[in-house]
Each structure stands twice: as C-alpha cells, then as structure tokens.
Amino acid sequence: MKNSDILKLVRPNIMRMEPYSCARSEFKGEARIFLDANENPYGTYNRYPDPLQVAIKDKIAKIKGVRPGQIMLGNGSDEPIDLIYRIFCRPGVDNVVAIEPSYGMYRVAAETNDVEYRVAMLDADFNFDADAMLAEVDANTKVAWLCSPNNPTGNALPEDQIRKILDSFGGIVVIDEAYIDFASRPGWLRELDRHPRLIVLQTFSKAWGLAGVRCGMAFASEEIIDIFNKVKYPYNVNTLTQEAVSRALDEAEATATRVRGILDERERVVRQLGSLPLIRRIYPTDANFILVKVDDANAVYSALLNSGIVTRNRNKVSLCAGCIRVTIGTPAENDALIAKLKTL
C-alpha cells in the first residue's frame, strides 16, 4: 500500500474539513511581544501551550528512535483512542474488530462514536489467533485493536500473529503498548516505516509514573499524524503536563531504574503467590500487574477490600471468571497483599 492510500481510509468529512487555526500555530518564528492570542500579559501560566508540543516530541523521538513527525500526544491514551474512531469510522456504518478480553476503553469509545464493535476471542490461555480476527473483518472494518502486553491478561501477543494482521488486514492496525516498558521483548515502533497503516499507542501513565498528568503517545506514519493534528483540540496537552513530561524525559534513566525495581518485585510476588493454596493459577505476565485465578474471586476481592487493599475484580470479564488483577506496588504494599492472602 502506498502511503497516500491511507487517506482513503479516512472519513470523507475529515478529509474535507479545514482545521481550526489557533494563534500560536499561525505564528512561526522568534518574537518577544505576543499580542495575538488575547492572553493576559500577567502571570506564570498565562500563555497558551505549544499546540504541537515540539520540545517534548524532540526528546521522545530520540528516546524511542522515531521521527518527531511520527508522534501525536494526547490527554492520556484515551484521546488518541477516541480520535481513531472519529477519524476513520463513519458512525452507524463502519465497524472495528478487537481482541477480547482487552482494555475496556476501545469498546466505550466505539459506543460513544456509534461504531459497531466486533470481538475476536483469545483462547483459554489468552493466546491470539490472527485468523479468528480476520474472520470478523468485512468491507466496513476500519480498525483492528490489539493490545500487547494485553490488559487484563498481562501476556504479550505472539509476534507472528500480529504480523499476519499487519500483512493481511487492509485497515488501520492499532497496537496498544501501554505496558511495553515492562515487557521482555521490544515493541513495534521499529516497524513503523514498514507499515503505514500501523498506529502504536504508548503512555506516560504506567512505566513513567505520570498517570496524574494525563499524557498519551500515538506513533504512526506522518500522514496519519497530520490527520490527528487536524482533528485534536488545538491545546490538548496543557503547559503543566508538558513541563512534567519534559522533566521525566530528562531523567529517563530514573524511570528505567524504577521499572527494573518493579520487575524484581513482580518476580518476588509471583513466587510468593505461587506457594499459596488459595491461588489456582498465575498467568504469565509481561506487564506491571498479575492476573491470578482463585476459586471465589468475589470473596477474595471483598476480603482484600475489607483490609484496605484494592485490587481489580475481573470475575465478570470474558474468559476471566475467578480472576483478580493485581498491580505490583511497593515492597511494603505487596507484603501487605501477600500477608492478607495467607489468612484467607
């Protein structure tokens, strides 16, 4: 597929529209006196933020090995997830297909945008079969949602099956890599140039420890990023967020160290949970959480809650009956979890 063909996947109204031109993006160059945006001249956060976040994209590009033009930043990953529907899917006409079980926001955003949400079930061990997904595809399927490492299951999807989707599906392929920094194998950023229809999502919410500032990353071909930029709110990433993200990027080594600590803890928690008779199964994980199966998930969840420990009860999620999802916390928090489970 030629890069220009991607534009055929875009909703015609989006192709036709003229983006809002904000004061800060019309002016380019050096200036000292800004009288263009009706800002208040006094204060610390009186200026509008950079709509295209040039400074932090340069830093991200270096760390991730991509070009700045291949990056879109949003208000969490939630924003690019919603924008993908708004850009590619005609409400009431088009559909998407996603692995199931997976992250709940793909479905919520489909419903908000009136887009049919089709699922391709993982198998009982949460393995992914590309053919099961391709069987759901028809002429109106615009997006395939993959999540690797997957939430809530924790496992990375097999590379050959993802490759099959990239090679055989003619629409947009999204790979959500929110947990990639905890995974044992590298993600798909290095293949961006080979797959112009690929969108990789990452986030500052997990490994970077910045869930509170709300900043998500979408990586894709320049053609796709240009459309994101046309449709997003002009000032979607505020100044405070850009500052916090910029500082974190300057201290990337500190993030890497913390990730290694969490991985050590993950190993220790898995080992300790493994010796508890209460636990029926611990699923393999490439993320900063563990999915465990018990006999009565509701009872275990409630008992933990009663001692002030909040986990995620996934009992009602497809294929996850009896399962609780536990995030790796500090050593003391994990010890409290294990101690409580020992009493059950």
264/261 Cα distance (integer angstroms) = 5
The string of DSSP letters for 316-337 reads: TSTT-TTEEEEE---HHHHHHH
Of 24 and 214, the one with the shorter C-beta distance to ligand PLP is 214
Q: Given candidates 48, 85, 88, 103, which one binds ligand PLP under the rule CB under 6 A? A: 103
Least distance in angstroms from the C-beta of 279 to ligand PLP: 23
Least distance in angstroms from the C-beta of 337 to ligand PLP: 20
Which residue of this chain has its Cβ atom nearest to ligand PLP in the complex? 76
* Contact status, residue 294 vs residue 281, Cβ threshold 8 Å: no
Residue type, 341: L
Of 10 and 244, the one with the shorter C-beta distance to ligand PLP is 244
Of 203 and 236, the one with the shorter C-beta distance to ligand PLP is 203
Of 10 and 144, the one with the shorter C-beta distance to ligand PLP is 144
Specify which residues 174 forms β-bridges with.
145, 199
Reference 146, options 132, 131, 123, 165; nearest CA is: 165
Which one of 38-46, 74-82, 249-257, 277-285 is the stretch in contact with ligand PLP (CB under 6 A)?
74-82
DSSP 168: H
Least distance in angstroms from the C-beta of 151 to ligand PLP: 4
DSSP 126: -
Does residue 51 touch ligand PLP according to CB under 6 A?
no
Which one of 59-67, 76-84, 291-299, 313-321 is the stretch in contact with ligand PLP (CB under 6 A)?
76-84
* Contact status, residue 300 vs residue 294, Cβ threshold 8 Å: yes
Specify which residues 141 forms β-bridges with.
95
Q: Who's near 216: CB < 8 A, 6+ residues apart?
A: 73, 74, 75, 76, 77, 78, 79, 80, 201, 202, 203, 204, 205
* Contact status, residue 82 vs residue 91, Cβ threshold 8 Å: no
139/238 Cα distance (integer angstroms) = 39
SS3 label, residue 214? coil
CA dist 336 → 294, 312, 340 (Å): 18, 16, 6
Least distance in angstroms from the C-beta of 199 to ligand PLP: 13
Does residue 203 touch ligand PLP according to CB under 6 A?
yes
Residues 136-165, mask of contacts with ligand PLP (x by CB under 6 A): -----------x---x--------------
Q: Given candidates 70, 77, 155, 288, which one binds ligand PLP under the rule CB under 6 A? A: 77
* Contact status, residue 155 vs residue 29, Cβ threshold 8 Å: no
Of 181 and 341, the one with the shorter C-beta distance to ligand PLP is 181
Least distance in angstroms from the C-beta of 104 to ligand PLP: 9
Least distance in angstroms from the C-beta of 216 to ligand PLP: 4
Q: Given candidates 49, 51, 76, 154, which one binds ligand PLP under the rule CB under 6 A? A: 76
Q: Given candidates 53, 113, 155, 205, which one binds ligand PLP under the rule CB under 6 A? A: 205
Q: Given candidates 6, 88, 216, 288, which one binds ligand PLP under the rule CB under 6 A? A: 216
Q: Kindly list the residues in this chain that would bind ligand PLP in the complex (CB under 6 A).
A: 76-78, 103, 147, 151, 176, 178, 203, 205-206, 211, 216
